[in-house]
Structure 1
Amino acid sequence: MNYKKTAVEILKTVGGKENISNMTHCATRLRLNLKDESIVDDEKVKKIDGVINVARAAGQYQVLIGIEVPKVYEEFEKAVGGNDSISDDESSKSGSVMSNIFSAISSIFAPLLPALAGSGILRGILILCVQVGIINEKSGTYTILYATSMSVFYFLPILLAFTSAKRFKASPYLSAIIGGALLYPDFIKLMGSHGNGATTTFMKIPVVLMNYNSTVVPIILSIWVFSYLYKWLDKHVTENLKLVVVPLVSLVVMIPLTIIVIGPLGVYGGELIAGVVNWSIIHSRVLAGVLVGGGWSILVSFGIHWAVNPIMINNIATVGYDYICPLTFACNFAVIGVTLGVWLKARDMQLRSFSLTGLVTIALSAIIEPTLFGLLVKNRKIWLAQIIGGAVGGTYLGLMHVATNAFVFGSVTTFPAFIMKNQNNFIQAMIGLLISLVVGAILAYLFTSRDEKLA
C-alpha cells in the first residue's frame, strides 16, 4: 500500500480538509468528524487501495484500514496540514456530545494500546516463569522484568496526560509535568501509612490525598480543564512573555487544582464507575457473558467499543485483573469459529480464501474488523452464528469467574493474559474460548449454503 496515495485519495473523496472538523484514529480505523457526510460517496471510498470498509457511527465517518492505519493517518495529517489546521471552534461544535466523547476516548487510548498489550503479555509470561520455577521472585531478574511489565501502569497518568493533551490541544509537555507531579515521591510520602483519604493543607486549604499511580480518570479530567486555561493563556499573553508566563501559570494553577479538587473527584468517580460495572458482572455473570460475549461485535461494528475499554484498563491498573476482557475474547474466538465453519462448508474459492485469511488474522492479531465487515455484516445468518457462539462462550467464562491480568485484544498470542496465580483460570479460559469457537463453527456450517458467495 502507498500510504501517501491512500491518504490523499481518502481526503479528496471525503470532501477535502474544508469538510473535516476533527480527525483521529484507533487501532484499525481512520475516524473523521465531517461537516457534511452527505457529500461522501461510500463506494468511492471503499474502492481506494488500502480501504477495507467504511462505517458511519458515533457521529463519525470511519474508514477501516487495518493495523496499518497509523501510517496512513500520518500521511493524512500531512495532507490536511496537521490537526492545528482544524480550528478548535469547528471541532467542538461538530457532532453530538456522545460522539465527541467516543472520539476523545479513542484518540486518548489508541496510542497506548501497544504498550499496554506488550506489558500485559510480559506480565503473564513472568507469572508463568515464577510458577514453574524458572525465575525466583526475590531475584534481581524478577524485579527488573516486573518493573518492565508494570511501569506502563504505574506511570499511566503521565502517558495519559500526554495523549490527552494531544486530543484537547494543550501543551503535551506541561501536561506530562502535571501527571508527573501526582507521582512525585515526596507528594506520595504525605499520605504516610494512611493511604487514600489522608489529609494535609495547601495554603491553609484542606487537601484530601490520593495515590494516583495507575489511575485513569483524574488526569484525563485535569488535562481537559487545563486545555481551556492553556488556550486562554496562549491567546491573551503577549508573545515575548509566553515562554515564561504560560508554563508558570499553568503549573501553579493546575497542579494544586488537580490535587485539591479534580484528582479526588476523579479517583472516587473512577472507582464508582468501575465498582458499578464489576458489581453488575459479579452479580449477573450470565447476563454479562451474553451481552459482552455476544454483543461485542455489534459494538465494534459501530466503533463504540472504545467506551468500555477504559473500564478494563482502569481495572487492570488498579486491582490487577479484569472480568470484562475475557468476554471480548469469546467474541473473537466465535468469529474464528465462524470463519472455520464457512471455510469447511462453502465451495466458492474466493469466500473460502477470505475466511481462511480472516481466521489467521484474528488468531494472530485479534483484528476482527475485516471479517466483520467483509463477511458477517453482509450475511446476517452467519453474523447470528457468531453472536450466539460469543454469548455461549462468554456465559461460561462469566460463570467460571475467568479474568485477565492485562488489557489485551483476544488472540492466540495474548493467551498469557490468562495466566494468574490461580492456575485454574487459564484452564477455564481455554475451555470457554473453545466453546465459543466450536459453537460458532457448527452454527456457521449449518447457516452457510454450499453455493454461498463473497458478496
Structure 2
Amino acid sequence: MNFKETAKGILENVGGVENIANMTHCATRLRLNLKDASKANDEAVKSVDGVVNVINKAGQYQVLIGTEVPHVYDEFENLVKGSGQLKLEEGTNDGESIISKIFSSISAIFAPLLPALAGSGILRELLILAVQLGFIAEDSGTYAILFASSMAVFYFLPVLLAFTSARRFGASPYISALIGAALLHPNFLALMGNSGNGVTTSFFGIPAVLMDYNSTVVPIILSIWAFSYLYKWLDKNVPETLKLVIVPLVSLIVMVPLTVIVIGPIGVYSGEAIANVVNWLIERSGVLTGILIGGGWSVLVSFGVHWAVNPIMINNISQFGYDYICPLTFACNFAVIGTAIGVYFKARDKKLKGFALTGVITVALSAIIEPTLFGMLVKNKKLFLAQIIAGAVGGAYLGLMKVVTNAFVFGSVTTFPAFIENNANIINGVIGLAISVIVGAVLGYIFTNKEDKLA
C-alpha cells in the first residue's frame, strides 16, 4: 500500500480539505468528522487502494483500513494541515451530538496507548507464568526489572492519558503531562501517609480530599478537558512575548490544585462507581452479561462505538488487577474465527475461501476482526448471525464460570497468556473460547452455500 496515495484518494473523495472538521484514528479506522457528509462519495472511497470499507455511524465518517491506519493517518494529517487552507480546532465539531463527541474523544484518547497497554499486559502475564514455572524468582533483580517494565504503563497512566487527552482537546500536551505527573509526585503521595484515599489536607485553607491517582483513568481526562478551556483562553489573551512563562505558570498554579480539590475526587469516585456497577451486574448474572457482550461485541465494533467500553476494562485492570469483560470480547473474536473456518470448508469459490482463511489467521494472530467482519460477515446476514450466536454461547460459558483476564488485551491466540490467573481460570477460558470456535464453525458451515462468492 502506498500510504500517501491512499490518504490522498480518501481526502479527495470525502470533499477535500475544506470539508474536514476534525480527524483521528483508532486501531483500524481513520475517523473523520465532516462538515457536510453529503459531499463524501462512499463508493469512490471504498475503491481507494487500502480501504476495506466505509462506515458512517456515531457522527463519524469511519474509513476502515486495518492495522496500517497510523501510517495512512500521518499522511492524511500532512495533507490536511499542510495545505494551509484549514486550521483544525482539535476535539471540536459543532455538528456532532454529545454522544458522538464522547465516543470520538474516547477513541482519540485511548487509541495511541493501545500498543503500550497490550504489550505491557502480555509481558506481565509472561512474567507471572515464568514465576509459576520456576524460571524467575520473585526476589530477584530480573523480576524487579521486568515487573517495573510491565507495570509502568498502568502506574503512570495519568501522565500518558494527560498527553493524549491534550491532543484531543487542544491543550498543551507537555503542560498536561506535568499536571498528571504532579498527582504522582512522591511528596504529594506522602501527604496520605499509610491511610490511603480519603485523607484530608488543605490548600491555602481550602480543604482537599487526597486520592491515590496512579493507575486511574477518569480524573485526568476530566482535568485536561477542563484545562483545555483555560489553555485556549491563555493562548488567546497572553501576549506572545510572555507566553513562554505565563501560560505554563498559570496553568500549573490553577489546574493542579483544582484537580486535587475538585476534579480528582469526582473522577475517582465516578470511575469506581461505573466499574463497580458493571462488575456487580456480571457477578449477579454472568450468563446474561456473557450473552450480551459475547454476542453483541461485533455489533458495537461494526458501529465503531465499542471504545466506550474499553475504559471500563482498563480501569478494572489498573484498579483491581483483573477484568470480567475482556474475556467476553475474546468470545466474539474466536466466534469470528470459527465462522470463517466454517466458510472455508464449505465454500467452493477460491476468493471466498482465501478471504476466510486470511481472516482466521489475521484474527488469531492480531485480534483485528474488522476486515473479516465487514468483508464477509456483515455482507451475509446469516453468517453475521452465526458469529453472534457463537459469541453469545461462548460468552455465556465464560460469564457463568466468572473467567477473568489480568491484562487489557485484544482477543487472539497470541494474547491468551492474559488468562493466567489460576488453573481453573485457564481451563474455563480454553473451554469457553473453544465453544465459540466450534459453534461458529458449525453454523458458518451450515449457513454457507457452496456456490457463495466473495461479494
TM-score by length of 2: 0.98
Partner of 1:307: 308
Mapping of 1:166-315 within 5 angstroms? 166-315=167-316
Q: CA deviation at 1:87?
A: 4.1
8 Å CA contact 1:27, 1:67 repeated in 2 = yes
8 Å CA contact 1:338, 1:437 repeated in 2 = yes
Deviations along 1:232-277, whole A, 9 cap, x unmatched? 0000111111111111000000000000000000000100111111
Partner of 1:93: 94
| Matches of 2:359 and 2:89, distance apart in 1 | 39
8 Å CA contact 1:402, 1:428 repeated in 2 = yes
Partner of 1:24: 24
Partner of 1:78: 78
8 Å CA contact 1:341, 1:444 repeated in 2 = yes
| Matches of 1:170 and 1:216, distance apart in 2 | 18
Q: CA deviation at 1:193?
A: 1.1
| Matches of 2:87 and 2:241, distance apart in 1 | 26
| Matches of 2:57 and 2:174, distance apart in 1 | 33
8 Å CA contact 1:382, 1:447 repeated in 2 = yes
| Matches of 1:27 and 1:159, distance apart in 2 | 17
| Matches of 1:402 and 1:101, distance apart in 2 | 30
Partner of 1:107: 108
Identity of counterpart residues, as a percentage? 70
Q: Call closer, same or farther: CA 1:89–1:398 in 2, change over 3 Å.
A: closer
Structure 1 stretches of at least 4 aligned residues deviating more than 2 Å after TM superposition = 82-92
Q: Call closer, same or farther: CA 1:82–1:397 in 2, change over 3 Å.
A: farther
Q: Which amino acid aligns with 1:130?
A: V
| Matches of 1:7 and 1:92, distance apart in 2 | 21
Q: CA deviation at 1:132?
A: 1.0
Q: What SS does the corresponding residue of 1:197 show, helix, strand or coil?
A: coil
Q: CA deviation at 1:91?
A: 2.7
Q: CA deviation at 1:189?
A: 0.7
Q: CA deviation at 1:92?
A: 3.3
Q: CA deviation at 1:39?
A: 1.8
Question: Is residue 359 from structure 1 mapped to residue 360 from structure 2 by the alignment?
Answer: yes
Question: Is residue 413 from structure 1 mapped to residue 401 from structure 2 by the alignment?
Answer: no
| Matches of 1:10 and 1:105, distance apart in 2 | 23
Deviations along 1:263-292, whole A, 9 cap, x unmatched? 000000100111111111111111110110
| Matches of 1:92 and 1:3, distance apart in 2 | 26
Partner of 2:55: 55
Q: Which amino acid aligns with 2:423?
A: Q
8 Å CA contact 2:81, 2:88 repeated in 1 = no
| Matches of 2:38 and 2:211, distance apart in 1 | 48
Q: Call closer, same or farther: CA 1:83–1:259 in 2, change over 3 Å.
A: farther
| Matches of 1:127 and 1:399, distance apart in 2 | 25
| Matches of 1:225 and 1:83, distance apart in 2 | 30
Out of 382-391 and 87-96, give the one that drifted further.
87-96
Q: What SS does the corresponding residue of 1:30 show, helix, strand or coil?
A: strand
| Matches of 2:342 and 2:390, distance apart in 1 | 12
8 Å CA contact 2:91, 2:170 repeated in 1 = no
Q: What SS does the corresponding residue of 2:93 show, helix, strand or coil?
A: helix
| Matches of 2:147 and 2:200, distance apart in 1 | 31
Partner of 1:439: 439
Partner of 2:389: 388
| Matches of 2:255 and 2:41, distance apart in 1 | 45
Deviations along 1:185-213, whole A, 9 cap, x unmatched? 01001001110001111111111000000
Q: How well do the aligned residues superpose, as a CA RMSD in angstroms?
A: 1.2
| Matches of 2:76 and 2:83, distance apart in 1 | 10
| Matches of 2:19 and 2:235, distance apart in 1 | 26
Q: CA deviation at 1:306?
A: 0.2
8 Å CA contact 1:21, 1:94 repeated in 2 = no
| Matches of 1:225 and 1:203, distance apart in 2 | 22
8 Å CA contact 2:33, 2:93 repeated in 1 = no
Give the aligned length: 454
Partner of 2:400: 399
Q: What SS does the corresponding residue of 1:93 show, helix, strand or coil?
A: coil
Q: What SS does the corresponding residue of 1:195 show, helix, strand or coil?
A: coil
Q: What SS does the corresponding residue of 2:92 show, helix, strand or coil?
A: helix
8 Å CA contact 1:77, 1:83 repeated in 2 = no
Deviations along 1:152-179, whole A, 9 cap, x unmatched? 0000000000000000010000000000
8 Å CA contact 1:161, 1:176 repeated in 2 = yes
Q: Call closer, same or farther: CA 1:90–1:436 in 2, change over 3 Å.
A: closer
Q: What SS does the corresponding residue of 2:144 show, helix, strand or coil?
A: helix
Q: Call closer, same or farther: CA 1:86–1:279 in 2, change over 3 Å.
A: farther
Q: What SS does the corresponding residue of 2:425 show, helix, strand or coil?
A: helix
Partner of 2:118: 117
8 Å CA contact 1:137, 1:143 repeated in 2 = yes
| Matches of 2:275 and 2:445, distance apart in 1 | 39
The answer for unaligned runs of 5 or more in structure 1 is: none
| Matches of 1:390 and 1:250, distance apart in 2 | 48
8 Å CA contact 1:23, 1:83 repeated in 2 = no
Q: CA deviation at 1:88?
A: 2.9
8 Å CA contact 1:171, 1:230 repeated in 2 = yes
TM-score by length of 1: 0.98
Q: What SS does the corresponding residue of 2:302 show, helix, strand or coil?
A: helix
Q: CA deviation at 1:372?
A: 0.4
Mapping of 1:116-195 within 5 angstroms? 116-195=117-196
8 Å CA contact 2:27, 2:66 repeated in 1 = yes
Q: Call closer, same or farther: CA 1:83–1:361 in 2, change over 3 Å.
A: farther
